[in-house]
Amino acid sequence: MEIQLLTSQEKHQLQEQLKAMIAKRPQIATRIAEAREKGDLRENADYHAAREELAMLEARISDLQERLKSASVVNPDDIPADMVFLGSVVRVRDTASGEVETFRLAGEVNSGGLDQDGDILAVSAKSPLGQALMRARLGQTVRVNVPRGEIHYEILEIH
């Protein structure tokens, strides 16, 4: 089982998702019981839909439980200030184009979108960009393999 690095906020979000899913179980069980009372189960669409929904919910619950079991919370105080790590906001400059971008290195929970202010892209620590940035130091240039080739980013700031 692979250890998953999370910020404390991400772990809390996963725990809240799990609670919500567990709370939904009785509702679906009630729907199954009500549909079962309608008679012939072979042609009872409500019954089959509710059973399928319960099966999908149970799979998601199991997945979240496994993720939380293998989660390790990163303490920001343990990371050097000049090193990129989970939760870091990083300003980088593309060495070829000179374009400056800002990324937030996120765990699986919060990756793949813009932050609330809309100008910081959250990238997964497991993505090619995230892997290149992880543990990089201020002033270092990292290489990111992308489908169209390579991009080289110089680390300008780490927050």
Q: What is the pLDDT of residue 154?
A: 95
Burial class (CB in 10 A: 0-12, 13-18, 19+), 13: middle
Q: Are residues 136 and 62 in the same domain?
A: no
Domain that holds residue 69: 4-73
More confident residue, 18 or 8: 18
Q: Are residues 53 and 32 in the same domain?
A: yes
* Domain of residue 43, CATH code: 1.10.287.180
Q: What is the pLDDT of residue 40?
A: 72
Residue appearing with tokens 């990089």: 136
Q: Are residues 153 and 88 in the same domain?
A: yes
What are phi and psi for residue 95, nearest 5 degrees?
A: -70, -25
How does pLDDT run across 93-147, given as a tens digit for each residue? Answer: 999 999 999 998 887 665 555 555 567 888 888 889 999 998 899 999 999 998 8
How does pLDDT run across 36-95, given as a tens digit for each residue? Answer: 887 777 778 888 899 999 999 999 999 999 989 988 887 767 777 888 888 889 999 999
Q: Are residues 60 and 18 in the same domain?
A: yes
